[in-house]
């Protein structure tokens, strides 16, 4: 299971304004998943979730994409 952080996505602490985010997403998924037909390719961002284990001992792992829709940080807003 893979997810990007601020250095995989584009500029440091980049967010929704990143113009090449769709291309970056494609490269990321090509590298880590390979398959051209996955749910992650059909949705915005690269968030994901998987459930592991038998019914009485299940664990769900949720991967959050905190970059795709991210707005400017408070620090960025103060400096403008």
Cα 43 from Cα 62, distance rounded (Å):
15
Helices (H), 1-80: 6-9, 21-32, 39-42, 74-78
Convert the pLDDT of each residue in 57-77 to its tens digit: 999 999 999 899 998 877 655
Residues in the chain, pLDDT under 50: none
Cα 56 from Cα 6, distance rounded (Å):
36
The reported pTM is 0.77
């Amino acid at each position: 299971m893979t997810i990007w952080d601020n250095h995989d996505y584009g500029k440091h602490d980049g967010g929704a304004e990143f113009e090449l985010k769709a291309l970056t997403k494609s490269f990321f998924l090509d590298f880590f998943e390979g398959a051209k037909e996955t749910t992650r390719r059909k949705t915005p961002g690269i968030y994901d979730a998987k459930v592991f284990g038998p019914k009485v001992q299940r664990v769900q792992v949720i991967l959050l994409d905190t970059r795709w829709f991210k707005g400017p940080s408070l620090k960025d807003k103060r400096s403008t």
